[in-house]
């Protein structure tokens, strides 16, 4: 049945949806954002209703505020309580006829707002506030603000079932959907940066930007230029600001807890020698990938394959409900294996049905090589439910390979699951990047490949205080109750006895680094670490970061900003990381050397999460926000009936399939009809004489720095970096070859008279290619083609073997390409 407008069906009756609109106000300060979401609910029915609305929040966010405003007259502020207790109070308030408002966490990135006992005609505005750190975008000095708006349908089910729901109101894994949703999004973003704002853009929506607010180049305001449906697609904003990547260390004093919290952040830039690696590309081909995301993933895979170094091993694995690999085991990169992989990339379709990420990653781990480091690239829309199970799998194998396994993830699409993409990369000690359907991913995947080919950096250490308090000697000797398995009344199977109660688990740490295990540092990727210091402990004036690389020790001193910030934002972000550590079993309780080989009971983990959440006012797996609007006797009489439940649906999109006939496809048909080319100048002259005028006009566009031209040109490169002399290569540049390039060939022959005709031809095409990439493509697409350029340069140097002659020939090639570009014929 088709569902239209703001309504849904209950017992075959069309019912209005109580959510009227959503307004978002975001304040961005450098790499931190504070966001307030206002959800307006109105009951236009005669009966009292209860509105249930599941919505997404960015997975790194710390939800720290919850407030209800009733009929614009009174406000009720939510407080954090244990989830079970909060749900009980909510139910009791509903039964008594009071207004009750509850915010619960289903997963790291999905929450439910329950708005109980909305009387007829009543309007309730729910305000949810959260703080979040912002991701670095692929280019320097840029941050990426993401506002998730849609919970896409997810494959499978999570372990988080109603039987283990800890007494919450929400029904796990259940989301209502409609093919149309007409409540709208109002959006206002204010950017206040430390340095001048250079550019603001949105790859997802049309925006209106007001720069230089009150004459200040560091402040700008952003709004939407058109009214949009809230559930349409994620909103993304990219802000470029001067010196945003520079190393910085801030300290914030929280008057409520009387503690200091330090935030260390930088986008590092360093160079390390590459190492021989195994590279496995795991590509999501499930139905949810649709047409455009699948096409983008295939294009990115093709660029990655062409950019691989000669001495690596690689494999391509496709997955959906099932999975299959290109090779049984990773193969050495060669002309043959590259050709097979490119053929697969160019024929990929999203026809593998469901999304079973666990199964395919398990196969990849079991079949990875043991004699070299392995880097896995997961390209997916992340629409699965069993995230925790997948993360545990990745963590287990990463620890087994002891820093010789890394997993990088790329999330594709307009409503990607950030939770899966971020979580597996974090567990795999890689990092995550995201692209919408309207963004190019080439620069991001090549950046990942460059980092994957460098050996891991190890032995991280940060000095936060004058004395290193991370190595605490005191022990908290408090006995801890251990979780025990439930014994069935109808089974005499022996139950394995629980481990003895740990009386010496180390929990009393005075310096809480978050995350406890310092995340890997990658060139060009934002690095953020926090540290909460116990009361009366002062931070060191210079924060020192140290590590060890294959090429030698690494060190950076970052002066602490002399101005102490006041408030709780940085504390809350740090607490969010500490909770994330506890959920991931990576916390100081789990990983401190003093707790090695000790059983850490779930009850202790829960206790610490609840303590952090209550201290810093955060929603979490074990804590919820609850607000009660106690009503007078008259109001109670009106509302003291069982409210009718109204669930707010998510928008579900259908993926249409379409076939495109491109000019490039027609071009390939033309090339197939060309006569055989013998690699000589005579053959080339015959080839060019046969070109039609329309074909000559097509080739003029190759002078333009367009990504399509770059991809077409890179198809001419061999696996070893050479650009071989054939009809396709010369046809790319067309007739200027005869006058300009022919003269250039004669000059090469003079310089390298001892070489054969075939060797001269290979040198000619390779140096022309190097010059073309540098002169035509580098200004706009250096990151995308740099690895292919380096392969070509390496092959060219091997062919020449003389530095002086290399330089002369390259200079002449560059001159030749400049003449070709400037020639209007």
Opening angle at CA 369, ends 364 and 372, nearest 5? 130
Query: Which residues make Cβ contacts (< 8 Å) with residue 468, sequence separation at least 6?
Result: none
pLDDT, position 473: 42
Cα separation of 825 and 821, whole Å?
Answer: 10
Cα separation of 144 and 26, whole Å?
Answer: 13
* Reported confidence tier of residue 161, pLDDT bands at 50, 70, 90: very low
Cα separation of 358 and 496, whole Å?
Answer: 28
* Reported confidence tier of residue 291, pLDDT bands at 50, 70, 90: confident
pLDDT, position 590: 94
Would you say residue 658 has pLDDT above 50?
no
Does an H or E element contain 569, and which? helix 569-584
Would you say residue 593 has pLDDT above 60?
yes
Does an H or E element contain 262, and which? strand 259-266
Q: Is the pLDDT higher at 116 or at 608?
A: 608
Could you give the C-alpha distances from 593 to 81, 473, 590, in angstroms and in order? 32, 11, 9
pLDDT digits (tens, 9 = 90+) for 725-752: 887 887 777 644 455 667 788 888 888 8
Would you say residue 25 has pLDDT above 70?
yes
pLDDT, position 188: 96
The 3-class secondary structure across 89-150, one letter per residue, is HHHHHHHHCCEEEEEEECCCCEEEEEEEEECCCCEEEEEEEEEEECEECCCCCEEEEEECCC
Would you say residue 299 has pLDDT above 70?
yes
* Reported confidence tier of residue 180, pLDDT bands at 50, 70, 90: low
SS3 773: helix
pLDDT digits (tens, 9 = 90+) for 91-139: 999 999 999 999 999 888 889 899 988 998 999 999 999 999 998 887 7
Name the residue among 457, 464, 577, 453 with its Cα closest to residue 520. Answer: 457
pTM: 0.84
pLDDT digits (tens, 9 = 90+) for 260-278: 999 999 999 988 889 999 9
Cα separation of 108 and 382, whole Å?
Answer: 14
* Reported confidence tier of residue 178, pLDDT bands at 50, 70, 90: low
pLDDT, position 728: 81
pLDDT, position 53: 84
pLDDT digits (tens, 9 = 90+) for 142-154: 999 999 876 655 4
Range with the lowest mean pLDDT among 395-399, 432-436, 742-746? 742-746
pLDDT, position 701: 57
Helix spans in 346-452 (H): 357-366, 387-401, 418-427, 442-452
Q: Is the pLDDT higher at 573 or at 155?
A: 573
Domain ranges for the chain, please list them: 278-453, 707-823
SS3 339: helix
Q: Is the pLDDT higher at 457 or at 657?
A: 457
CATH class, 278-453 region: alpha beta
pLDDT, position 55: 84
pLDDT, position 296: 87
Contact predicate 444/433, CB 8 Å: yes
Q: What is the β-pairing status of strands 135-136 and 235-241?
A: unpaired
Would you say residue 255 has pLDDT above 90?
yes
SS3 715: coil
pLDDT, position 660: 31
pLDDT digits (tens, 9 = 90+) for 700-716: 457 788 888 898 899 99
Range with the lowest mean pLDDT among 28-42, 303-317, 731-745? 731-745
Could you give the C-alpha distances from 432 to 319, 356, 418, in angstroms and in order? 19, 19, 9
Q: Is the pLDDT higher at 672 or at 779?
A: 779
DSSP notation for 506-539:
----SEEEESSSPPPP-TTS-EEEEEEEPTTPPP
Name the residue among 73, 90, 74, 71 with its Cα closest to residue 82. Answer: 90
Cα separation of 290 and 361, whole Å?
Answer: 22
Would you say residue 4 has pLDDT above 50?
no
Would you say residue 430 has pLDDT above 90?
yes
pLDDT, position 632: 72
Would you say residue 427 has pLDDT above 80?
yes
Range with the lowest mean pLDDT among 137-141, 429-433, 466-470, 810-814? 466-470
Would you say residue 665 has pLDDT above 80?
no
Range with the lowest mean pLDDT among 89-93, 137-141, 241-245? 137-141
Query: Which residues make Cβ contacts (< 8 Å) with residue 612, sequence separation at least 6?
Result: 575, 578, 579, 582, 618, 620
SS3 560: strand
pLDDT, position 495: 52
- The average confidence (pLDDT) of the chain is 83
Range with the lowest mean pLDDT among 201-215, 309-323, 458-472? 458-472
Contact predicate 92/606, CB 8 Å: no
């Amino acid at each position: 049945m088709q569902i239209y407008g703001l309504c849904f069906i209950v017992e075959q009756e069309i019912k209005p949806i109580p959510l009227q609109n959503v307004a978002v106000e975001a304040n961005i300060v450098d790499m931190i954002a504070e966001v307030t979401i206002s959800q307006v609910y109105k009951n236009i029915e005669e009966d009292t209703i209860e509105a249930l609305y599941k919505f997404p929040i960015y997975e790194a966010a710390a939800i720290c505020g919850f407030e209800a405003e009733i009929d614009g007259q009174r406000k009720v502020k939510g407080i954090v309580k244990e989830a079970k207790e909060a749900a009980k109070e909510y139910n009791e308030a509903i039964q008594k006829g009071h207004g009750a408002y509850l915010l619960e966490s289903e997963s790291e990135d999905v929450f439910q707002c329950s708005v109980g006992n909305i009387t007829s005609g009543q309007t309730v505005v729910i305000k949810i506030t959260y703080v979040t750190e912002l991701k670095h975008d692929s280019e320097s000095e840029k941050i990426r603000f993401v506002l998730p708006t849609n919970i896409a349908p997810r494959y499978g089910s999570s372990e988080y079932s109603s039987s283990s729901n800890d007494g919450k109101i929400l029904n796990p894994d259940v989301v209502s959907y409609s093919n149309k949703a007409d409540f709208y999004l109002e959006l206002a973003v204010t950017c206040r940066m430390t340095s001048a704002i250079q550019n603001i853009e949105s790859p997802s929506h049309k925006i209106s930007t007001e720069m230089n607010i009150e004459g200040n180049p560091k402040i700008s305001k952003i709004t939407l230029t058109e009214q949009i449906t809230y559930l349409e697609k994620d909103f993304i904003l990219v802000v470029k600001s001067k010196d945003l990547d520079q190393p910085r260390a801030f300290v914030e004093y929280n008057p409520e807890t009387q503690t200091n919290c330090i935030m260390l952040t930088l986008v590092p830039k360093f160079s390390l020698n590459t190492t021989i690696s195994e590279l496995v590309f795991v590509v999501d081909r499930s139905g949810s990938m649709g047409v455009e995301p699948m096409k983008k993933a295939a294009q990115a895979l093709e660029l990655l394959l062409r950019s691989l170094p000669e001495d690596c091993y690689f494999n391509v694995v496709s997955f959906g409900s099932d999975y299959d690999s290109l090779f049984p085991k990773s193969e050495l990169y060669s002309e043959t294996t590259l050709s097979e992989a490119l053929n697969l990339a160019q024929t990929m379709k999203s026809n593998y049905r469901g999304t079973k990420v666990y199964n395919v990653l398990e196969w990849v781990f079991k079949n990875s090589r043991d004699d070299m480091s392995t880097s896995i690239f997961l390209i997916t829309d992340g629409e699965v439910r069993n995230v925790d199970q997948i993360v545990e799998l990745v963590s287990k194998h990463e620890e087994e390979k002891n820093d010789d396994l890394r997993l990088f993830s790329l999330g594709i699409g307009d409503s990607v699951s950030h939770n899966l993409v971020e979580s597996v990369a974090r567990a795999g000690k890689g990092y995550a990047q995201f692209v919408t359907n309207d963004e190019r991913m080439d620069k991001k995947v090549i950046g990942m490949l460059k980092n994957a080919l460098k050996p891991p950096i190890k032995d991280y250490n940060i000095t936060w205080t004058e004395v290193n308090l991370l190595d605490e000697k005191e022990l908290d000797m408090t006995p801890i109750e251990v979780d025990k398995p439930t014994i069935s009344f109808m089974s005499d199977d022996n139950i394995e006895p629980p481990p003895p109660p740990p009386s010496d688990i180390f929990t009393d740490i005075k310096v809480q680094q978050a995350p406890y295990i310092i995340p890997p540092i990658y060139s060009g990727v934002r690095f953020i670490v926090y540290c909460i210091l116990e009361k009366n402990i002062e931070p060191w004036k210079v924060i020192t970061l140290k590590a060890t690389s294959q090429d030698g020790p690494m060190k950076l001193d970052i002066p602490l900003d002399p101005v102490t910030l006041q408030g709780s934002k940085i504390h809350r972000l740090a607490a969010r990381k500490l909770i994330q550590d506890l959920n991931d079993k990576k916390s100081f309780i789990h990983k401190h050397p003093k707790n090695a080989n000790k059983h850490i009971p779930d009850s202790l983990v829960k206790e610490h999460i609840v303590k952090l959440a209550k201290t810093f006012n955060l929603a979490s797996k074990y804590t919820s926000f609850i607000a009660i609007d106690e009503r007078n006797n008259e109001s109670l009489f009106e509302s003291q009936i069982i409210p009718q439940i109204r669930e707010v649906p998510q928008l579900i999109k259908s993926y249409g399939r379409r076939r495109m006939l491109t000019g490039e496809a027609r071009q390939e048909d033309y090339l197939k009809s060309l006569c055989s080319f013998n690699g000589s100048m005579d053959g080339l002259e015959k080839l060019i004489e046969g070109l039609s005028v329309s074909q000559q006009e097509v080739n003029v566009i190759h002078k333009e720095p367009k990504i399509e031209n770059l991809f077409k040109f890179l198809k001419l490169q061999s696996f070893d970096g050479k650009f071989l002399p054939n009809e396709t290569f010369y046809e790319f540049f067309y007739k200027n070859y005869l006058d300009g390039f022919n003269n250039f060939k004669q000059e090469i022959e003079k310089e390298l008279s001892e070489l054969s005709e075939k060797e001269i031809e290979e040198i000619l095409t390779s140096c022309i290619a190097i010059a073309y990439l540098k002169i035509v493509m580098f200004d706009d697409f250096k990151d995308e083609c740099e690895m292919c350029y380096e392969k070509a340069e390496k092959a060219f140097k091997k062919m020449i073997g003389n530095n002086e002659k290399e330089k002369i020939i390259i200079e002449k090639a560059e001159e030749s390409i400049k003449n070709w570009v400037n020639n209007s014929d």
